[in-house]
Amino acid sequence: MKRAVLYTRVSTADQNAATQAHDLRRLAEQRGFVVVREYGDVISGAKARRPALDEMMTAARRGEFDVVLVWACDRLARSVRHFLEVLDELNRVNIEFLSFRENLDTGGPLGRAVVVIVSAVAELERNLIIERVRAGMRRAKLEGRRVGRRPRDIDRLAIVRDRQRGLSLSQVAKLHSISRALVCKVVNETRNGDGHEGSSPHPC
């Protein structure tokens, strides 16, 4: 017997999710599912954060149930893209999805075909995003604009002098609000002739 969870959502507190839950309980009974948990959000469909949905997805990753039942696809996700992402993640952790209104069941042959299409669309979207980011970085480089985090403006001479006068790596790092690793890097570069000072007598 498959373990099922129900997910319902209404947009405002004066709306009632009881009808959604009633239909889903009947559907679970007809399919021979045992309902182990019911999740419900009272939140606008456009909101990104959904506490109950987030909790449900965490439980899904832990393998705490086998199938998700929703009253309608638009109850689950805030957009088509979000729906594809949720469905793709459920598929990756081998959890079936069943929608009451659309009669979409990923446990059947047609539903599995839909999952394949959804997964392909989601993968395509991820690749397009990555390519757009890379194209933007290439364009920025060609235009002479800096790509990535701007290097910290540090006083290399002062760091080397403080290290030469016997301060520990931790003391120098704290004094200049940088990491011990960066202090060590500056001192080593100076010792190797890449900095602006002569060789440091103190090892990193």
Q: How far apart are CA 88 and CA 99, in angstroms?
A: 15
- Choice among 11, 44, 79, 170 that is catalytic: 11
106 CB-contact burial (10 Å; exposed 0-12 / middle 13-18 / buried 19+): buried
SS3 34: strand
* Distance from C-alpha of 9 to C-alpha of 86, rounded to nearest angstrom: 15
Q: How far apart are CA 109 and CA 182, in angstroms?
A: 57
Q: Which residues of 10-30 are buried (b: 16+ CB within 10 A; e: fewer)?
A: beeeeeebeebbebbbebbee
Only one residue has tokens 């948990």, namely 37
Q: How many CA atoms lie within 13 A of 18 on its CB side?
A: 4
Per the listing, tokens 């790596």 go with 169
Q: Is 11 a catalytic residue?
A: yes
Structure tokens at 175: 């004094």
Catalytic residue numbers read 11
